Chain A
Amino acid sequence: MAVIIQGIGTVTALNSTNSLDTNKTLFANSRRSLSDRKGRFFMVRSDGCLSYGLNGHGGRAEKLITNAVAAKEDTAAAYTSSKPGHELLLFEALREGLEEEMDRDPTVCVMGEDVGHYGGSYKVTKGLAPKYGDLRVLDTPIAENSFTGMGIGAAMTGLRPVVEGMNMGFLLLAFNQISNNCGMLHYTSGGQFKIPIVIRGPGGVGRQLGAEHSQRLESYFQSIPGIQMVACSTPYNAKGLMKAAIRSDNPVILFEHVLLYNLKERIPDEEYVLNLEEAEMVRPGEHVTILTYSRMRYHVMQAAKTLVNKGYDPEVIDIRSLKPFDLYTIRNSVKKTHRVLIVEECMRTGGIGASLTAAITENFHDYLDAPIVCLSSQDVPTPYAGTLENWTVVQPPQIVTAVEQLCQ
């Protein structure tokens, strides 16, 4: 399987017979994209290869568990790093990432409703206010437009704020700030101001929260030029993406999911940062490429179990980066399997899946043997009733059926 490395402005596709030397130089290249990092950390490639330190000890890649389904027992690749790591829940992983960044850089601060004394409505910022003080972990009044604007102003003057929306739906009130100021200020000021802000919050369907509290704003934010969007799905990538988002000089929106906060996983003790623009190979396969993100990853993996029993070999990729899409990983997968299924929680109309379908069709049309199938949520406000709510989102049986139809 080919390994794709995103170097600085250069895209080099390696074939599977890597030479030690090529690995060294290319890893060194990719290191510079996260420049001036302190030495002791490693970058994780999408297929799980580790690359150590700045000197790059050749191509000694070790397999790391990149797929984490809480229910699934993964005995395939044993975790082999210098230390066994520690187990924690996803919201704790987010907090760990946040805390490490706040320790490392005094300009990182948090603001949002109930993040300070209350500890965060989903406990992501618990314990941070007593440790860093009320000003660095700031409780704001209930005015998303203003505290997002305040965060952007803080970013313009040199801080690195993390703005928490208690629920993604509330950020609609801050849409003006996110679109006009967050996204555009770097451009309209001719590069004078940078906005290294992270806007994060939980969204998604589950828990019967009703229509307004179950929104998926990826589709609304995706066309704002100037911002980056990432979606985390496991404790491992939650921590890595949180750290990468804070270190990035661009405004990043980090999408979390209400139902995933209690996922448990073992993550490394060492410091690690993930690449913001990279997709994650969850399960390599041969027959069909399934692209997914956030909570749908787990529905897909559940469907994958059924599919494997039926004799199919799906390749599952967690795209993670919603803007921009990691078209390199996707391209390699499409080249191999020639069939694409997109499973997402966004709405059918104008969602991430719609954009992804367009992007893949435009770029990789020649590689496709069948039209792209996109399974998304229904175009309805999320109902309160439990059964109806389940039918709004894509369920594993539907994924299985879609793959079977696609692979005929």
Chain B
Amino acid sequence: MALSTNRTVNQLLKPLTAAISATRCLSSDSTSIITVESSLPFTSHKIDPPSRAVETSPNELMTFFKDMAEMRRMEIAADSLYKAKLIRGFCHLYDGQEAVAVGMEAAITKKDCIITAYRDHCIYLARGGGLYESFAELMGRKDGCSKGKGGSMHFYKKESGFYGGHGIVGAQVPLGLNMAALWDLPAILVCENNHYGMGTAEWRAAKSPAYYKRGDYVPGLKVDGMDALAVKQACKFAKEHALKNGPIILEMDTYRYHGHSMSDPGSTYRTRDEISGVRQERDPIERIRKLILAHDVATEKELKDIEKEKRKVVDEAIAKAKESPMPDPSDLFTNVYVKGFGVEVFGPDRKEVRATLP
């Protein structure tokens, strides 16, 4: 379904764009506008949906591809690290949902703040986080983004307005929505609907799985979350709306290939055919790849090289993170309080002084 739409688009636009893109090199600084139609129309609730035609540029397509390739590689690498017991605890992987992260970033600035739940590795990367810091944090090292004390579910980046990274979530959306609507706050509530709440399918947990409509008096938009350009269009639209009129709900129809977390195989509540079906038909990276090839922004080989390079970059970051030191035992007591008090902090047996806080 999605494939045929793309093909149709390609047939229409190919003659036009072929003339524009004379040289096809990776570092093309051409900002020529390419208009692509989103794979699916937007469905909306109490608002007029934005148009399906998304404007993008070769640069942007390449950025999308690179970022998503890096995110995908990172999550797959995290999978192997977890199985090698270098990452412990909970690890919630984002592969399959990369389009949401990159599409969102393309529509907002670093001054806009993002807060999310536990599936935060790729949002951290999209916000400007480094691979080394991510892997160091996942492996519990001192150089991690939260100094090794947060772990997979607690990535934060204050300078880029990324407020985490939270483990315990539940029932916060209706209450937050009420307050946001009451005071006309410029908030966009993004529901990354990957159709499963861990092992429970959405139709078994929600009377009405049309989440974009659940805001009632708050307008909502349903977006194909596997199409980075549609996500970008929706987020731009939502940002304009939120700044003028108050909150809006975006439901991103997306999918996660892995289970809920590494302890969940992901196959007990859905069939492997379903997973591979989505991977074949709706994979976000494949979609961008096809767009890039169709618009002659880069060659097949160049794209493969990018993927290889990203693999290398990720492997290097992992190697470096593996070498990095564990936190000191005294770090156990740092950052519990800001500027502690004029008192010493005792160890658990209250006899030994572990740290003297300033």
Contacts and interface: CB of A to CB of B under 8 A. Distances in A.
A11 B344 CA distance: 9
Nearest to A176: B168
A192 B158 contact: yes
Given A176-B168, A189-B146, A193-B158, A225 B350 contact: no
Contact of B172 (A149, A186, A249): A149
Contact of A186 (B163, B182, B336): B336
Interface in B150-194: 150-151, 154, 156-158, 163-168, 171-172, 175-176, 178-179, 182
B163 A146 contact: no
A6 B342 contact: yes
A9 B341 CA distance: 8
Contacts of B301: none
A3 interface: no
Interface residues of B, number: 43
Nearest to A192: B158
B344 A9 contact: yes
B145 interface: yes
Interface in A184-234: 185-194, 196, 225-226, 228
Contacts of B216: none
A8 interface: yes
B338 A6 contact: no
B334 interface: yes
Contact of A190 (B145, B178, B342, B357): B145
B337 A250 contact: yes
Given A180-B166, A192-B156, A277-B342, A187 B335 contact: yes
B339 interface: yes
Interface in B129-160: 144-151, 154, 156-158
A190 B342 CA distance: 21
B179 A150 contact: yes
A33 interface: yes
A56 interface: no
Nearest to A152: B163
Interface in A238-254: 249-250
Interface residues of A, number: 43
A349 to B, nearest CB: 21
Contacts of B113: 157
Q: Counting chain B CB atoms within 10 Å of each CB, which of A11, A30, A189, A192 scores highest?
A: A189
Given A8-B358, A188-B150, A277-B342, A141 B178 contact: yes
B1 interface: no
A149 B171 CA distance: 12
B343 interface: yes
A181 B342 contact: no
17 contacts: A8-B358, A146-B178, A149-B176, A153-B115, A188-B149, A188-B150, A189-B150, A189-B165, A190-B147, A191-B338, A226-B336, A226-B337, A249-B339, A250-B337, A276-B341, A363-B350, A363-B351
Interface of A: 6-9, 11, 30, 33, 140-141, 143, 145-147, 149-150, 153, 156-157, 176, 180-181, 185-194, 196, 225-226, 228, 249-250, 276-277, 324, 359, 362-363
5 smallest CB-CB distances across A and B, nearest first, come from: A190-B147, A9-B356, A190-B146, A146-B175, A249-B338
Given A146-B179, A193-B156, A194-B338, 20 more contacts: A8-B358, A9-B344, A9-B358, A146-B178, A150-B179, A156-B163, A188-B150, A188-B156, A190-B145, A190-B148, A190-B149, A190-B150, A190-B335, A191-B335, A193-B163, A225-B336, A228-B341, A249-B338, A249-B339, A250-B339
